């Protein structure tokens, strides 16, 4: 049975709903490495070391200290933390509701996700809050203390329960002003915009998480299994880099991308795929013979090609 990592209540106006939080993600799914001594491959030990007594000490012999001046610390105990004058110490305090479509910021603002489980006594009120959020398309913006830090969070309906997602505080988000984004402005021809729109349409589908997998982890496990079996690791061929800065190249790449997407989608029952898969599928197909174009059909293509060709310089007389 899952073990809760936080116990408290949701504060909804004058309503208090006793709940528990469970970590929604599984860190064990990741491939983990142990640190070994390079010469004898023995697993190294990370010890807590006291420089004054010059000896290793147990974790139970440590306390939390805040450095208020250079080399000077004040000890903060668990009892001190429990006495913090905050409503959010054991309460998910709902501050406001906001339309879910508007969102609360880019996805990169999120930190961690937790499933919410209501105690039996609070299940009716929990279901009412969930139904209101679901029916009105709202997100509950709230604050809560988790792991000795107050977090900004959002509460949303998720499957048959709700999910609490913690966010970064605004002052934790770095400004984009430090990036070298340039001051160039770009103008695109209608044909380029239309082709880009067509590519986006070909790649658009409902998001189904089950379709995606961690290919890096799978490839890493293949390497690990090969090394365990004593097999030699073969480096995969590097993909060719294609410059897309030139407008003609950009148009050509867009056209090829659309064709690859359409061909791959039609070959898989109408399901859009990633661009990498589309390229692989396109490369595996035999090249089709070019069909002769009629005079009427060739005219638009020739006009478009002429539009892409750079203008010739006039000769000096």
In this predicted structure, what is the pLDDT of residue 212?
83
Q: Are residues 19 and 145 in the same domain?
A: yes
Q: Is 38 part of any domain?
A: no
- Asked whether residue 15 falls in the same domain as residue 132, the answer is yes
* Confidence at residue 240, expressed as pLDDT on a 0 to 100 scale: 58
Q: Nearest 5°: phi and psi at 18?
A: -65, 130
Q: Which of 20, 2, 1 is nearest to 10 (CA)?
A: 20
Nearest Cα to Cα of residue 122 among 166, 164, 162, 165: 162
Q: Which residues are paired to 164 by β-bridges?
A: 114, 155
Q: Is 156 within a domain?
A: yes
pLDDT tens string for the chain (317 positions)? 678 999 999 998 889 999 999 999 877 667 888 999 999 999 998 899 999 999 999 999 999 999 989 999 999 888 888 777 777 888 999 999 999 876 665 555 888 999 999 999 999 999 999 999 999 999 999 999 998 889 999 999 999 999 999 999 888 888 888 888 888 888 888 988 999 999 888 888 888 878 888 888 888 888 888 878 888 777 776 655 544 444 457 788 888 888 888 887 776 544 444 445 545 544 544 444 444 444 333 444 444 444 445 444 444 44
**Helix pair 275-284, 247-266: axis angle to 10 deg:** 80
Q: Is there a single domain that holds both residue 164 and residue 270?
A: no
Decide: residue 277, CB within 10 A, 0-12 exposed, 13-18 middle, 19+ buried: middle
Residues 272, 150 share a domain: no
**Per the domain annotation, does 273 fall within a domain?**
yes
Question: Do residues 195 and 253 share a domain?
Answer: yes
Give yes or no: residues 128 and 159 share one domain: yes
Instruction: For residue 19, give the nearest of 38, 4, 34, 2 by alpha carbon.
Output: 4
The pLDDT value given to residue 103:
67
Within this chain, do residues 15 and 131 fall inside the same structural domain, yes or no? yes
What is the tens place of the pLDDT at every residue in 85-103? Answer: 777 888 999 999 999 876 6
The answer as to whether 232 is a domain residue is no
Q: Is residue 114 part of a domain?
A: yes
The reply to whether 195 and 110 lie within a common domain is no
Which is nearest to 144 in space by CA: 122, 167, 123?
167
Query: Does residue 11 lie within any of the structural domains?
Result: yes
Domain-embedded: residue 280 = yes
- pLDDT for 241: 52
What's the confidence (pLDDT) of residue 42? 94
Same domain, 153 and 195: no
Q: Does residue 209 lie within any of the structural domains?
A: no
Count: domains in the chain: 2
* Phi/psi at 227 (5° precision): -70, -35
Whether 121 and 267 map to the same domain: the answer is no
Predicted confidence at residue 293, as pLDDT, reads: 42
Kindly report the CATH number assigned to the domain that includes residue 110.
Answer: 2.40.290.10
Do 98 and 161 lie in one domain? The reply is yes
Same domain, 131 and 194: no
Please enumerate in sequence order all residues whose Cβ is within 8 A of that of 37, keeping only pairs 6 or more positions apart, or say none.
43, 44
Q: Give pLDDT, residue 291.
A: 44
Domain that holds residue 259: 188-201+248-284
């Amino acid at each position: 049975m899952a073990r809760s990592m936080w116990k408290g209540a949701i504060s909804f106006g004058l309503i208090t709903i006793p709940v528990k939080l469970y970590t929604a993600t599984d860190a064990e799914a990741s491939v983990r490495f142990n640190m070994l001594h390079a010469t004898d491959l023995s697993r190294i030990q990370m010890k807590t070391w006291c420089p004054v007594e010059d000896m290793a000490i147990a974790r139970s012999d440590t306390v939390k200290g805040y450095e208020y001046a250079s080399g000077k610390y004040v000890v903060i105990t668990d009892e001190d933390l429990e006495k913090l004058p905050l409503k959010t110490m054991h309460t998910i305090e709902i501050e406001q509701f906001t339309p879910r479509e508007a969102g609360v910021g880019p996805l990169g603002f999120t930190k961690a996700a937790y499933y919410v489980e209501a105690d039996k006594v609070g299940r009716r009120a929990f279901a009412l809050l969930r139904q209101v959020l679901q029916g009105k398309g709202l997100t509950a913006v709230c604050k809560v203390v988790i792991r000795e830090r107050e977090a900004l969070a959002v509460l949303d309906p998720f499957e048959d329960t709700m999910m609490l997602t913690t966010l970064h505080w605004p002052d934790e988000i770095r400004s984009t002003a430090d990036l070298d984004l340039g001051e160039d402005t770009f103008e695109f021809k209608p044909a380029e915009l239309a082709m880009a729109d067509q590519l986006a349409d070909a790649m658009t589908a409902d998001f189904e998480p089950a379709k995606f997998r961690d290919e890096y982890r799978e490839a890493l496990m293949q390497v690990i299994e090969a090394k365990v079996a004593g097999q030699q690791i073969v480096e995969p061929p590097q993909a060719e880099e294609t410059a897309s800065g030139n407008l003609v190249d950009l148009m050509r790449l867009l056209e090829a991308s659309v064709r690859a997407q359409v061909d791959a989608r039609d070959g898989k029952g109408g399901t859009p795929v990633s661009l990498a898969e589309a390229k692989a599928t396109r490369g595996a197909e035999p090249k089709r013979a070019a069909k002769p174009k009629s005079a009427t059909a060739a005219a638009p293509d020739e006009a478009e090609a002429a539009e892409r060709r750079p203008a010739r310089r006039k000769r000096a007389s």
